[in-house]
Amino acid sequence: MVRPESRAANDHIGGPIGPTPVFSLPMDLVTEPRALERLRGSALVPTMGALHEGHAALIRRAAALGGPVVVSLFVNPTQFGPDEDYQRYPRTIDADLEVARRSGADAVFAPAATAIYPEDAPVAVPPLPKVALTPRLEDACRPTHFAGVCQVVARLFDLVAPRYAVFGEKDYQQLLVVTAMVADQAPRWRELRIEPHPTVRESDGLALSSRNRYLAAEQREQALGLSRALRVAHAAQRPETAERMMRDTLEAHELAVEYAVVRDATTLMPVAGFDRPTRALIAARLGAVRLIDNAAMTVWR
Ligand code: PAF
């Protein structure tokens, strides 16, 4: 059960005096930023809704960190390009509340757009870290994306004032961008720690994504090309061989490749060999659907 702007424990004021009963608190639905006041120091899981088991894992991770867990649901218009899927992005609030509740959230923050971007007070875009500008990956394919992500994430951090924020490795460049933004802006979000969480996959390897809902049954088989490409890349002895093998696998699945690269795991800049931690990263199109995936190249030699 979800209660707007209230905690069920308050409902028990005036009950019989005796040992404190243990209540299983229902989850709060918060829409007004001022109602976040009492949730300061939480573990925040920022999302755009359309929650799936990958999000559920992030929420469980947040719950394991201690303190209250806040899940934000906000489809942020500023991180979508003009030809992207902002209008059709799945909005599934009732199902999202249920996923958040059963995964251990104490509150869902689902603000109106005017609460995030008030008409009378422009929300600044923080200076973008290098990893948002130089790798020529998501930054090149979606030129305004990280400005929007940093703008909304900074705003959420200011409003929620979390102790932890949990981000999935599925959006690997985003994870690095947010981590660098927090470090660059110190001491703006004092004590905040970004907590990464591994990508959650279906048993056949498909990385969970809210955008998988766009895939028709036959496209789902093609989408497996991404995780298969990452798997075959592990056999390569050199980054350029891994990149060619990934491209071949993606093309064999009739996917239009945007990038299929091996990069330094921290800077996302090109590497000449496997003498340091590296990451394989892919973006590919399947008709109108854009898919991304990545994996650590665990065998570095
Ligand atoms: O990863 C996402 O869902 C979004 O980019 C985020 C971090 C919630 C910001 O809107």
Task: Give how far Cα 54 sits from Cα of 4, 100, 110, 125, Å.
Answer: 25, 11, 19, 28
Residue type, 156: L
Quick check: 14 pLDDT over 80? no
The rounded distance, in Å, linking the Cα atoms of 49 and 97 is: 9
Catalytic, 234? Answer: no
Determine phi and psi for 280, rounding to 5 degrees.
-95, 130
Residues 157 and 192: beta-carbon distance below 8 Å: yes
Residue type, 14: G
Cβ neighbours of residue 251 under 8 Å, at least 6 residues apart?
257
Summarize pLDDT for 81-111 with one digit per residue, the tens. 999 999 999 999 999 999 999 999 999 999 9
pLDDT of residue 298: 67
pLDDT of residue 9: 28
Summarize pLDDT for 216-234 with one digit per residue, the tens. 999 999 999 999 999 999 9
**How many residues belong to the chain?**
301
A 10 A CB-CB count for 85 gives: 15
Residue predicted with more confidence, 212 or 15: 212
What are 247's two structure tokens? 């491209």
Task: Name the band, by pLDDT with cuts 50, 70 and 90, for residue 134.
Answer: very high
Q: Measuring CA to CA, which residue among 119, 126, 120 is closest to residue 155?
A: 126
Query: Which atom of ligand 1 is closest in space to residue 153's alpha carbon?
Result: 9
DSSP 8-state assignment for residue 10: G
Query: Is ligand 1 within 6 A of the CB of residue 246?
Result: no
The rounded distance, in Å, linking the Cα atoms of 30 and 297 is: 41
In testing the pocket of ligand 1, which one of 44, 45, 47, 74 has its CB within 8 Å of the most ligand atoms?
47
pLDDT of residue 299: 53
Burial (CB count within 10 angstroms: exposed 0-12, middle 13-18, buried 19+), residue 65:
middle
Whole-number Å distance, alpha carbon 244 to ligand 1 midpoint, is 30
How far out from the chain centre does Cα 55 lie?
Answer: 8
CATH 3.40.50.620 fits domain 7-197: yes
Task: Name the band, by pLDDT with cuts 50, 70 and 90, for residue 26.
Answer: confident
Residue with tokens 């990934």: 246
Mean pLDDT for the chain?
91
Share of the chain above pLDDT 90, in %: 90
What are 293's two structure tokens? 């995936």
Among left, alpha and beta (phi > 0; psi -120 to 50; other), residue 104 is left
In testing the pocket of ligand 1, which one of 58, 79, 123, 182 has its CB within 8 Å of the most ligand atoms?
79
Q: Return the domain boundaries, the chain.
A: 7-197, 210-295
Quick check: 3 pLDDT over 80? no
**Does the predicted TM-score (pTM) go above 0.85?**
yes
Whole-number Å distance, alpha carbon 3 to ligand 1 midpoint, is 25
Query: Which atom of ligand 1 is closest in space to residue 79's alpha carbon?
Result: 10
Quick check: 21 pLDDT over 80? no
Query: Is ligand 1 within 6 A of the CB of residue 149?
Result: yes
Task: Name the band, by pLDDT with cuts 50, 70 and 90, for residue 153.
Answer: very high
Whole-number Å distance, alpha carbon 171 to ligand 1 midpoint, is 9
CATH class entry, domain 210-295: alpha beta
Average pLDDT over every residue of 50-74: 97
- CA torsion sign for 90, 166, 144, 283 is negative
